Structure formats: C-alpha cells, structure tokens
Structure 1
C-alpha cells in the first residue's frame, strides 16, 4: 500500500527485518510496481565547479576546505550541450546539471542555465538540475524552460543534519523541495549514508522522504566517498549491507519512486550492485565522474547490464504510459550503451 503517513516504529520494524527477509519483501514490492529488468541511466555533469560557501562536511567543492578541486566558472552552453549529446549517445535518458551554488541568483548565469535546460530538453532527454536553494518563481522559470526534474537532497535525518551542515537548515531544504513541487517539476530527493549517522538517523531520513505530500519521483541513495581535506575525509563509508538495507527499506516505503544507486558505486563489486538492484534500486548514474567523485565507466556498466540482462529505461516513460494501458516490456536498448 502506498502511503505518506509512516510512523517511525513502522519504518524501524521494516529496516530491522532479518536481511534476507527484508530483501525478499523489497524485491516483491519492486516487482509489483516496476519492471525489475529495467534501470534508468542518468548522466551528471558539474557545470560550475568549486567555490561553494556552504560547509557540507562531505563536499569537495566547499571553498573553506583544502581539496584538490579547482574552481571553475559556469561552462559555456555549447560545451554543456555537447556533453549531453555524448551522454545520450551512450544510452542515458536523463541529463543532470549541477552547479556549486548555495542558491540560485537571478543573474546572467541563471539565464545561461535556462538556455542549457532548453537545449537539453530539445534533444528528447529528461533534463535535471541541482543548483542549490531556489524560490518558487525561479522554479517556475526552470519549468517553463523545459526542466523535467530538480535534485535537492535532505542528506540525512533532521536530528543528525546539524552535525553535517551548519550553513543552511533542514527547513531550508524542505522549502526548496516544496517550491519544486509547486512548479510541477519532478522531485528528486534522497540522502547520503556513511556520514557517521546511526541506523535511527537512516530511519529518520527515509521517514522524511516517505512522508512528503507526494513521494519523490527519484530517491538517490549515496554512500559517502571520503574526500581528503574535508571534515569527513577520514570517515569510513557504509558497508554494502548498509546500502542494500537502506535501498530495500526505501523501496518498500516508496514503491513507485526511482531508487537511484548513486555515489560510492565504484567501490562496489558487480555482486554488490546486483544485490542493490534485487532490493529495489532501478536507477544509476553513468559516466566516469559524478560532479567531482569517480564513478564506474560506461564499459563497466555495459558489462554489468549484460550479465544481469538489464535494459535502460526510455526517457519520459511515465508520460508515455496511459492510465489503464497494460504494461508491456520495451525492446532491449543495450546497444545504446555501446
């Protein structure tokens, strides 16, 4: 049953199920609402890198930390559109653009981002942005430019949040997500595990997401990639078992959402990733780099998809499926990954 009023006790009971029982239940829910052999492939590009005034303890792009990331201004429109074309040719159906801003400002850079959104949308790709906080008016401008989705993660539980970030509040994040929803843009919101949180914090994060007025259409589950020079540079990432458990719980709570196996995938074996897909993950990021952190290359993902008989999800599938129309398997698009 899809609902938006989960209690903490209910989520804790699910999260703490015996591991194989949890995976079995999540896999059962996944098959009720999704094609288990279909995975959405997205590409994420940093269009403006470094120099961010925020103090997110995990982030290589915060100006106050001494990392190897070099500050780069907003990329030219032609370069971004060329990157989107390459992503589409490699099999991605969604192109995500990230800028290391605290918030969107009404200036020339934002005007240029709107042109980027228009250009990618015209390619027939789902276009997503993650630009920091934004107002309802700015969200409407992005929507009018053709934006399909906006990413703004809650990161962790409300209780643990202040131990990770002090330069914006949890309510600030929820307000941006609300502005995105009001503009009728697809909400992409998830979190990161491995930030020194407890199991209770993971439950709290998932409860925040699952009890939103509508479940996020995409729920990225990231595993910390420790970056030298950041406060969490010496932190050990979460184990694969923690990732599977978090993904499985997310799938049960939010049956129709795209649960994205995101950062930290480079350190996972094929077997570990397969377990995540079994537990309900049905989306990944493709490409060598996720903003500034390493990611499996396209060749590796193509091999993994072939081993698991997975096919990429087509763009705008939700919009193409009419109510009452029986689900049909789409032809394999594996050659597109080549």
Structure 2
C-alpha cells in the first residue's frame, strides 16, 4: 500500500521515527524509497563556486565568511565562459545537475546578477538541471531566475529554529523561510536541508526535519550535509558525526518526505563505500561529484568522478538523467510560521 504524503507531522512522531531501531528504520525507509523512486538511479551533481569568499555573514561553519581567517581567498565572480566550460565537462562525466553557489548575503540587482542569469540560461540550454544558491532573494529576483530557466534554488535551514542563532547571528530563521516562500511564488523547485555536526542535539535535528516536513509542498530536494571542520572557523574542533547519525537522518527524511530527493552532500568524502551504500539503502538518491576533488572551496573535499563511477558500478547503480522542467504549481500557503 502506497504511503501517503503528509504536511502535519508532530515532533513526537518524528522523534519516534528517528529512534526506531536502526536496521528496522533503514528497512522502512528503503521500502518507502522504492514506492516513489527508482532505487537503481542516483543523481550526480556538480557544485561550482561562481563567487568565492568575502561573505559578510557569520555562519560558524563556513570557510567563506570574511569574519574568519581561513585558507579561502576572496575571488571575483567567475567569467560566464568559465562556468559554461566546467558545466560542459561535468555533463560529459554523466552529471545531470549543476549547482552554482555565490558567497553573497543576498542577491542584488546589478551587473553580477545579470551575469548569473546568463550562466543559468546557457547551462540550462545544455539540457542540465541548474540550481543556484545565492543567499536571500526577492520574489522578483526569483521570477527572473525562473525566466532564465532555473530548475532549483537552494536555501538551507541548517538546523532547528531554536539552535539557529547559536550558529548564525547575521540573519534569522524567518529570513530563511521568507526566501523559500519567495521561490515558491515561481515554478522553481526548492532545495533545502541542513548540516549535521554543528553541536546540535537530537532535538534540534528533529526540529529541523519538523520544519521541512511541514512545508507545503515539501522541498523537492533535501540535502543532508556533514560538517567539514574548517580551520579558522568557530566550529573547527567539532567532533566527527558518527555514520549512524547520518544514516538515521537520511532514513527519517526519506520517510517524512517520500517524493523528495535526499542528497548526500558535503562531508561525503570521509565516508567509505560501505558507509555510502548504507546511506543509499536508507533513501539517499543524489551525490555531489567533482573533477578536482573539491566541492565548493578548497576546504570542502569531494570525491572525484572516477571514484564515484567505480562505486556506482560496484553497487549496480546508474546515473540519473536530468528531469524535465516542473509544471507550474499553484501558489501554496505561506511556509512562514
């Protein structure tokens, strides 16, 4: 019997799912995953840092904040031709989604945004899904991105509303939800998830999933990131996240949001093939891969195309082709609470 999609999850229900004995939890998540997805397909994504460093935000985990002394040196917005060339190489390697990230607090209506719109148009014209993560944006800016062909917009919640101000003080949780609302006024899909290893409690993890699972509709994409401890940031000495916690989060997210893509994102480089296989069994159906062993910056390692192709072949998994542009959705009720 097909499991239904809900938007009225209670925290106690989510806690009970998260606390399910691990192997039973994986089994339940794997069963639901197969009802809504082809379990033999994994989407391989490429993340391009189109504007690196110098961000005024104080996100405690981030190498690109101007407030911390890290290895990342600020760089200007990449040339459009450079981004298009990187995307072309990624497509040749089987990548079906290219994500463009800029270290901005928010999108500004200037020549740089015009250049980003051109990047989106040209990479979309290659037949790839294009996702952007550019910080906060207005409804009008979201509509301009939609007109350029943007497939998805990433804006992570990072953690629970209660713990959020411990990690970031330069914007609020409501700011995050407001940007998601603005994207929902368009045909652009939403990518929103969080980070494990920030010093959060299980209650915080449950709280973040509660917020995501009660958005209507659910984010089409839910990245589960594992903290990469960056020297020079306030979280540089955080302990590694146990693999079992990662698997629990992926499985719980899969059960709560059956139709969403659950993305095993940052931090995957330190997981073995066996550990990654557990994540796929638990419902993850997307990874980020690279040609230079870097995900976003020099401080965030990422497995390369050859290693990932070897792993997918070993597990009998195939790279998923790009999806068609989603149809226009009716304006949902506001996500902001």
TM-score (norm 2): 0.94
Tell me: CA distance 1:113–1:55, structure 2 relative to 1, closer, same or farther (3 Å). Answer: same
Report if the CA contact (8 A) 1:193-1:237 is conserved: no
Unaligned stretches of 5+ in structure 2? 328-337
**Correspondence 1:235 to 2:238:** yes
**Correspondence 1:69 to 2:76:** no
Report if the CA contact (8 A) 2:191-2:219 is conserved: yes
- What is the match of residue 257 of structure 1? 260
- What is the match of residue 6 of structure 2? 3
- 2:318 maps to which of 311, 314, 322: 311
- What is the match of residue 152 of structure 2? 149
User: Once the 2 structures are TM-superposed, how far is the Cα of residue 183 of structure 1 from its aligned partner?
Assistant: 1.3
**Correspondence 1:135 to 2:138:** yes
Map 1:129-278 → 2, pairs under 5 A:
129-278=132-281
CA distance in 1, matches of 2:26, 2:151: 31
- What is the match of residue 335 of structure 2? none
Report if the CA contact (8 A) 1:286-1:296 is conserved: yes
Report if the CA contact (8 A) 2:151-2:189 is conserved: yes
CA distance in 2, matches of 1:220, 1:4: 19
Secondary structure (helix, strand or coil) at the match of 2:28 reads helix
TM-score (norm 1): 0.93
Point out 4+ residue stretches in structure 1 off by more than 4 angstroms. 317-320
**Correspondence 1:112 to 2:115:** yes
Unaligned stretches of 5+ in structure 1? 321-338
Any idea what the Cα deviations from partners look like across 1:137-187, whole Å, max 9, x if unmatched?
A: 000000001101000000000011011000000000000011111112110
User: Once the 2 structures are TM-superposed, how far is the Cα of residue 319 of structure 1 from its aligned partner?
Assistant: 5.4
Map 1:322-337 → 2, pairs under 5 A:
none
**Correspondence 1:283 to 2:290:** no
User: Aligned residues, how many?
Assistant: 320
CA distance in 1, matches of 2:183, 2:44: 22
Report if the CA contact (8 A) 2:187-2:326 is conserved: no
Any idea what the Cα deviations from partners look like across 1:20-68, whole Å, max 9, x if unmatched?
A: 1111110111111111111111100000000000000000000010000
- What is the match of residue 299 of structure 1? 306
Report if the CA contact (8 A) 2:151-2:325 is conserved: no
Report if the CA contact (8 A) 1:195-1:237 is conserved: no
User: Once the 2 structures are TM-superposed, how far is the Cα of residue 237 of structure 1 from its aligned partner?
Assistant: 2.5
CA distance in 2, matches of 1:256, 1:130: 22
**Correspondence 1:13 to 2:41:** no
RMSD: 1.0
Report if the CA contact (8 A) 2:120-2:130 is conserved: yes
User: Once the 2 structures are TM-superposed, how far is the Cα of residue 290 of structure 1 from its aligned partner?
Assistant: 1.3
Secondary structure (helix, strand or coil) at the match of 2:112 reads helix
Tell me: CA distance 1:267–1:25, structure 2 relative to 1, closer, same or farther (3 Å). Answer: same
